[in-house]
Amino acid sequence: MNGLPGSALADGAELLLRRLDRSPLGAVELDRPALDDLPCRDLIRALLRAPGFKLDFNRLDPDAALAMVSNQLFGPGAFARENELLAREIAALAGLVGGLVEARPAIAIRTYFAPGDLVWHVDRVNERRAFRLVWPIGRPAGMRLTPAGNIHAEIYRAYMRREFPLLGQLDTRVMRTGAPVEGLWAHRPVQLAAMASGRFPFLVDPDSESEVTPGNASVHRVETPAQAGAWHRSSWANRDAPGLQIVITAAAD
């Protein structure tokens, strides 16, 4: 079920912020072209055929970061035009997210699946205002969101005290080996079943969730000392098709 308010890149940061303020889930969906309709689709498909990786752009502009990746994976000058087009898309989205807090955002891309994302969570930073845009290209299912009131806080804290370090270890093993999560956690069938179904013991109503339209981007609130974050998780359907995930985070005091 998709109960998310929508917005568009052309609407700008001010209107997006107002829609985020009104969203009960703390998130807004952004229409994006499907992979087949992107002019940089050949580059993206080539990246998805390469071994899974994560790259933080740090202070690099999108065009320089993408050129660096393409040069390393495919040779000097490969996909030059497609790199330029994808960099232009990322820069436009970064400008939108940065405009929410009037700060330069951090950008990262990832092509491996992190199974820890299957567990309901909020993103956290120390600054007072923060938002994150996630654009997963080539994934079969969209991000799931649930209201904060659907999380039983005490049960969740107890659950994560036990599971958080184990999930971090699992993410690292998947990134390094590419092994399927079903095999790595075959000895933990109850936890695997919860990750596959999304039905965790800390949920008040397991059926209370909304899905971002597959292929679209979304912007959500990040938890800070001054604001609540949006509760979200990935979908089990994405474990074998992680896609190219573009993540843009803007934070400021």
Per-residue pLDDT of the chain (253 residues; tens, 9 = 90+): 456 889 999 999 999 999 999 999 999 999 999 999 999 999 999 999 999 999 999 989 999 999 999 999 999 999 999 999 999 999 999 999 999 999 999 999 999 999 999 999 999 999 999 999 999 999 999 999 999 999 999 999 999 999 999 999 999 999 888 899 999 999 999 999 999 999 999 999 999 999 999 999 999 999 999 999 999 999 999 999 999 999 999 999 9
One-letter amino acid of 133: L
Nearest to 92 by CA among 107, 110, 111, 77: 107
Number of helical (H) and strand (E) elements in the chain, helices listed first: 7, 10
Dihedral sign, Cα of residue 106, residue 175, residue 246, residue 100: negative
Spatial contact of 218 and 96, defined as CB atoms under 8 Å apart: no
* DSSP H/E element including 109: strand 106-110
Dihedral sign, Cα of residue 73, residue 68, residue 124, residue 207: negative
Nearest to 192 by CA among 182, 202, 207: 182
Write down all domains in the chain, each with its CATH number in brackets: 6-147+211-252 (2.60.120)
Report the C-alpha gap between 17 and 131 in whole angstroms.
10
